Amino acid sequence: MTTRSRTVLSTALTAKLSALASTRENWDDELPAILADLSAVPHHLVVLASREIALAARLGWEPLLMDRLIGAFTDEPIYVRDLALMRRAPNYAWIFLFHPSGHVREAALDSLQRPPESAFFLAAVAWRLNDWAEPVRRAAARYVQRVQRQIVPEVAASSAPYLLDRRHSWGRWSREADLLDDVFGRPDVLPIIAGFLQRTANGSLAKYLRLLARNPAIDQYLPALAASAIQPQVRAIAYRSLLTGNVTWFAGYEWQWIDKVYGIRKRVPKLDHRPLQDIALPPDLFWQAARDASVIVRRAAADALIASRAAVPDEDRLIAHFEQDKNPSVRSRADFLRRRPRLS
C-alpha cells in the first residue's frame, strides 16, 4: 500500500503559485494574494514549505526552448531573468527566498528593506541564516541586522519557541543564530515570551526556558515564572535558578567516551551556566518552593537547599518540612540533609 506524502501548502495556494510561474510579468494581480497566503502558513512548517514553494512556482526552471536558445548566445545563466524580474518587482524577493539558486537567494535578501510581517517569513529568514551557501548566510545576517529593531514584537515572540529549538538542530549556522537572540531579547519581545511561558499549560516550555536562559535579560522574569507559571517544570527551573543563584541552559551536544580502546562514544547534552543577575528576591523564596503543589518543584527546592545550605538561616525548619513531605523522593533528600553535616 502506498502512502501519500505530506503536503504543507493548500491546493489553492499551490495553484496560485503555478499560475504565477506562467504569468510572472503580471505580478500585480497575483503576488500580493500569494504573499498573504504564505504568511498564514504555520511557521514551524517552513522547511517543508520551502521545497513545495520552489516546485509550485517553478523557481529556477529552464525557460522555453526559444529563450534557452537566446540564452546560449548570450551566455547568461538561467537565473538572470529572475534577478531582472526582482529588480522590476521587488516583492518577488519574498518568493525568491526559496529559490534553488544561491545567487538569487542572496540577491533577494540584499534587496529586502522591510521586516518580515509574519512568523512564517521570519522563520524563512532564519532558515536562510542556516543556508548551505555561506554568501546567503551572510546576506541573511545583513538583512536581520538591518531590520531586527523593526520586527513587530508579536511576530518575533510567536516564532521564538520554534526558532529557539532549531538553534542546535539546524547544523550549518553558528554565530548567525546569535542574531535571533538579539531579536528575542528585545525589551518589547521578551515580556511576551515570558507571558507565554507563564500562562501556557501544554508544550515543551521547560526546554524553551532553558534555551532562553542564556540571555541574562530573562532573569528579571524568573520570580514571576517561579510564583505563577502554570507548568510545574517551568516553576522548577525558575526556582532552581533563583535559589542557587546559578542559571543553566542547554548549549548543544558533545561527545562522551564510553570505551576509548574500541572507539565507542555517545552524544550527550552539553550545559552551560552563568551567575544570576542581581535581582530582588522574596525573603521566603525557599518556603514558597517547599510548599508548592507539585513534587517537581518541591524536589527542586530540596536540591537547591543541598546546594546552598550556608545561605539558608532556617534550614532545620525546612528540613523538618521536607521530612513530612508525602513524596518519598523529597523525604530522601531531607534524610540526606540530616545525615550531612552543615559546613560553616
What are the pLDDT digits (tens) for 142-161? Answer: 999 999 999 999 999 999 99
* Position 244 in a domain: no
Q: How many domains does the chain have?
A: 1
Name residue 129's amino acid.
L
* Position 225 in a domain: no
d(C-alpha 291, C-alpha 155), whole Å: 37
Kindly state the average pLDDT of the residues 303-314: 82
Cβ neighbour number for residue 259 with a 10 Å cutoff: 8
The DSSP symbol for 308 reads: T
In the prediction, which pLDDT does 78 show? 64
- The domain of 52 spans 1-184
In the prediction, which pLDDT does 310 show? 65
* Position 221 in a domain: no
Kindly state the average pLDDT of the residues 197-202: 94
Indicate if the alpha-carbon torsion angle 43, 46, 52, 55 is positive or negative. positive
* Position 55 in a domain: yes
Kindly state the average pLDDT of the residues 185-195: 95
In the prediction, which pLDDT does 74 show? 46
pLDDT over 70 percentage in the chain: 90
- Report whether pLDDT(80) > 70: yes
Return the SS3 of 110: helix
Distance of CA 294 to the CA centre of its chain: 28
Kindly state the average pLDDT of the residues 8-34: 80
Q: Would you place residue 42 in the very low, low, confident or very high pLDDT band (cuts 50, 70, 90)? A: very high
* Position 13 in a domain: yes
* Position 258 in a domain: no
* Position 207 in a domain: no
d(C-alpha 142, C-alpha 110), whole Å: 8
The model carries a pTM of 0.85
d(C-alpha 321, C-alpha 276), whole Å: 27
Kindly state the average pLDDT of the residues 176-205: 93
Kindly state the average pLDDT of the residues 209-234: 94
- Report whether pLDDT(67) > 70: no
pLDDT over 90 percentage in the chain: 62
* Position 127 in a domain: yes
In the prediction, which pLDDT does 342 show? 67
Query: 215 near 276, Cβ under 8 Å?
Result: no
- Report whether pLDDT(117) > 90: yes
Q: Would you place residue 77 in the very low, low, confident or very high pLDDT band (cuts 50, 70, 90)? A: low
In the prediction, which pLDDT does 54 show? 92
